[in-house]
Amino acid sequence: MPARTLPNFEDDPLTNAIKPPPDETPKERQRRLRSEQAAKAVSDSIDKELESQRASERNGQKPVKILLLGQSESGKSTTLKNFQLLYEPKAFRTERASWRAVIQLNVVRSIHLIFDAISKAEKTSSGSQDFVVDLIASPELLKLKLRLAPLLQVEETLIRRLTPAGSSETEATLRIGRDMSYSERTKNYMKEVTINSAVQWKGSFGRRDVGRSSFDADKAMNWEDADDPGRILHACSEDMIRLWEDPMTKKFLEAQKLRVRELAGFFLDVLERVTAPQYIPTDDDILKARLKTLGVTEHRFILSGKNNISRDWRVFDVGGHRSQRAAWVPYFDDMDAIIFLAPISCFDQVLAEDHKVNRLEDSVKLWTSIVSHPLLKNTNLVLFLNKIDILQSKLASGIKIADYVVSYGDRPNDYEHASTYLRRKFSGILKEKSPLPRVFYCHFTTVTDTKSTKYILSNLKDMLMRDNLTKTNLIA
């Protein structure tokens, strides 16, 4: 009988993948060990939390679970923030310092977008004498570009604070700045800074000596921080305002067909306020702030219904990038409801990750896959046809929906007819594709509007509380 050969662990691919490189320097080793320690702490924290959840569910009542779903920039994170604002307002008072940094990053990247439009105009000006004349006649823009160069340093500082040391997100983003010229770097504006949902980025800002129980946002801010990026932003404030208000800037943006006011994280109309020395974000500012996340974000709330019976609520936000959608269904088949956000203003836009795919078409396809999925047949579906304010603005400006949605035909190009058409489109898909008959819950929304969104979420809460109590036989 042939002798058994023990495996050679030196050739084990897993061992080879995790062992340190042979030429690792002491500095690199320290960085690697810190990164591994941080990763283990996050992993242990997640394991502990999961075990706590399982124990709680074994000993108590099943929580109400809601999943927020939709493509990137559909309004999922804003809806989650609305849940916080409505049912956990104290959280906003302890997170303003963190959102202040996000808003600062939004401002810097909006300025980069303007410079990108100018750079593109310079490169394509050979085919248009008008742009050549415009650039020569506007030396002020070139001066502003030089004077606002310190914003690159601000961006790097903010990215480092928002992402953990040594993380791939930080290094990949900052490498763009080190290895590229300014004009090359601005081309990468649309490659957003991305935060892993497992990273506790909100703890990186504010004073360390102020506990989370403090409700005073001003005390939570570290105004003595010599490295506060807000100092440079304030020093550059007048130049940024001058750049934004320059008629030539508007011309360059129009030439690139960039409607920057419609972009998430737009604050250029309030630059003087958000770059003030001791600026504290308002609730509306936080709702409008844009920060892209990877993975699943979970928030918990204890809510009471009209009968004063309390329930544990869990709201999940799943990343909207196409690469993040495929594997989520098996893990969320026990949801009480899915809030599906379809940004219907995006009928004339394409996906950032695939310029061949229309964003409205992508929402329709994703909605179809959700309503037809057998694992979700017993889940309540609530449709938010979102960003109706932008839809109204686009249609009023003369952008024709029929140019992008062939089936719209010769219907009038106004909000009333467009919204009715889209509502019927999504309703028809639910009726045709759902494995079981379902009620069509649909709302036209602007989730950055706290007043209207509060009303919708309150009604949703009452509906789900009633449904949950019925399932547990607590009410008839």
Bridge partners, residue 294, by sequence: 196
Residue 38, in any domain of the structure: no
Was 389 annotated as part of a binding site? yes
Q: Where does 246-338 have alpha helices with state H? A: 247-255, 271-274, 283-288
The maximal CA–CA distance of the chain, rounded, in angstroms, is: 90
Was 293 annotated as part of a binding site? yes
Was 287 annotated as part of a binding site? yes
209 — pLDDT class (breaks 50, 70, 90): very low
Q: Are 279 and 294 in contact (CB under 8 A)?
A: no
- Examine the pLDDT at 403 and tell me if it is beyond 50: yes
Higher pLDDT, 342 or 42: 342
CA pair distance 179, 456, nearest whole angstrom: 48
122 — pLDDT class (breaks 50, 70, 90): low
Q: Which residues contact 445 (CB under 8 A, 6 or more apart)?
A: 75, 341, 384, 385, 386, 387, 388, 452, 453, 456
Residue 150, in any domain of the structure: yes
Q: What is the DSSP letter of 354?
A: -
- Examine the pLDDT at 320 and tell me if it is beyond 50: yes
81 and 195 assigned to the same domain: no
Q: Of 254, 288, 322, which residue constitutes the final position of a domain? A: 288
Instruction: State how beta strands 441-445 and 380-386 pair.
Output: parallel
167 and 197 assigned to the same domain: yes
Was 291 annotated as part of a binding site? yes
Q: Are 105 and 158 in contact (CB under 8 A)?
A: yes
Q: Where does 372-449 have alpha helices with state H? A: 388-396, 415-433
Any idea which of 135-139, 446-450, 454-458 has the lowest mean pLDDT? 135-139
Q: 412 is written with which tokens?
A: 């009038």
398 and 335 assigned to the same domain: yes
pLDDT at 443: 96
CA pair distance 340, 446, nearest whole angstrom: 14
- The predicted model scores a pTM of 0.78
Q: Which residues contact 197 (CB under 8 A, 6 or more apart)?
A: 293, 294, 295, 296, 297, 317, 319
- Examine the pLDDT at 338 and tell me if it is beyond 70: yes
Q: Residue 442 carries which side chain, given as an amino acid letter?
A: C
Higher pLDDT, 246 or 352: 246
- Examine the pLDDT at 19 and tell me if it is beyond 90: no
Q: Residue 282 carries which side chain, given as an amino acid letter?
A: T
- Please report how the helices 237-245 and 139-147 are oriented relative to each other, as an axis angle in degrees rounded to 10: 150
* Residue closest to 385 by CA, chosen among 358, 422, 352: 422
* Residue closest to 223 by CA, chosen among 96, 126, 133, 348: 96
Higher pLDDT, 136 or 102: 102
How large is the average pLDDT for residues 67-86? Answer: 91
pLDDT at 446: 94
Residue 366, in any domain of the structure: yes
pLDDT, averaged across the chain: 79
pLDDT at 161: 82
CA pair distance 460, 336, nearest whole angstrom: 11
Q: Of 266, 288, 310, which residue constitutes the final position of a domain? A: 288
Q: How far apart are the first and last CA of the chain?
A: 71
Torsion-angle region of residue 73: left (phi > 0), alpha (psi -120 to 50) or beta?
left
Was 292 annotated as part of a binding site? yes
> Phi and psi for 450 in degrees, rounded to 5?
-65, -35
Residue 319, in any domain of the structure: yes
Q: How many domains does the chain have?
A: 2
Any idea which of 223-232, 351-360, 382-391 has the lowest mean pLDDT? 223-232
Q: Are 343 and 74 in contact (CB under 8 A)?
A: yes
Was 145 annotated as part of a binding site? no
Residue 251, in any domain of the structure: yes
- Examine the pLDDT at 333 and tell me if it is beyond 80: yes
- Examine the pLDDT at 381 and tell me if it is beyond 70: yes
110 and 245 assigned to the same domain: yes
Domain range for 152: 92-288
pLDDT at 75: 92
Q: Of 272, 288, 304, which residue constitutes the final position of a domain? A: 288
- Percentage above 70 pLDDT, the chain: 71
102 and 227 assigned to the same domain: yes
Residue 47, in any domain of the structure: no
Total H helices, total E strands in the chain: 19, 8
Was 425 annotated as part of a binding site? no
Q: 95 is written with which tokens?
A: 């997170």
Q: Cα dihedral angle (171, 174, 180, 181), rounded to 10 degrees?
A: -170
Was 289 annotated as part of a binding site? yes
